[in-house]
Structures are given as C-alpha cells and as structure tokens.
Amino acid sequence: MDPDAVAKAFVEHYYTTFDSNRAGLANLYQESSMLTFEGQNTQGCQSIVAKLTSLPFQQCQHAITTVDCQPSGPAGGMIVFVSGDLQLTGEQHALKFSQLLED
C-alpha cells in the first residue's frame, strides 16, 4: 500500500479517536512508546494515555491541514509530520498544532 495513503489513514484514525474516544488512543501506543509534549517526556501506553486524557479540555476537534511522511530507519518505520487546527469547545479561535509521529 502506498506509504502516503497509509500515513493519511493512520493520522485520520488517530485524531478521530482523540476527538471522540480519547482513552481509545491506548490501542495506538505500546509499552515502549514515547510522547514528548510541551517539554515533558512520558513513556509507555498507560502513562501516555493518562497524559492525553488529563489535558485541560473535555471536547476538542482536530482539523488536519497537512500530512507528510518519510521512511525512517532500517526496519521499515515511518515518520509522519502533521499540522492543523484544534478547536476547543467554547473558544472563539482554533489553536494551531503540529505533531511528529514515528510509526
């Protein structure tokens, strides 16, 4: 399957899960997964999901603007760079965000 299509599908799934069932993100991380968010490092599926579900908003909607991917490393991994808007309930203006994922 075309890597760009795989990356796009993964990203759509990731943010749909984030927006509708944040705890479901646990299925997208493993024990060795790492998240660095606003300077803080978190490792392991449980800790990462705990961090993401503890963010100070209940509802959010991500709108993806760009998805770029490249192969990464010798073992068939992929690096994905995402940018877009994040609309929080009750806020007049959307936030901008970007995220780097390694699959």
Binding residues for other proteins (CB under 8 A): 34, 36, 39, 41, 66, 68-75, 77, 79, 81, 83, 96, 98, 100, 102
Local structure of 70: helix, strand or coil: strand
Q: 32 or 89: whose CB is closer to other proteins?
A: 32
Provide, rounded to whole angstroms, the least separation between the CB of residue 69 and other proteins.
7
Provide, rounded to whole angstroms, the least separation between the CB of residue 34 and other proteins.
5
Q: 20 or 65: whose CB is closer to other proteins?
A: 65
CA distances from 77 to 1, 3, 6, 7, 102 (A): 14, 10, 12, 11, 7
Query: What is the number of other CB atoms lying within 10 angstroms of the CB of residue 48?
Result: 20
Q: 49 or 67: whose CB is closer to other proteins?
A: 67
- Please give the single-letter amino acid code of residue 76: G
Distance CA 4, CA 99 (A): 16
Distance CA 84, CA 14 (A): 13
Q: 27 or 65: whose CB is closer to other proteins?
A: 65
Provide, rounded to whole angstroms, the least separation between the CB of residue 70 and other proteins.
5
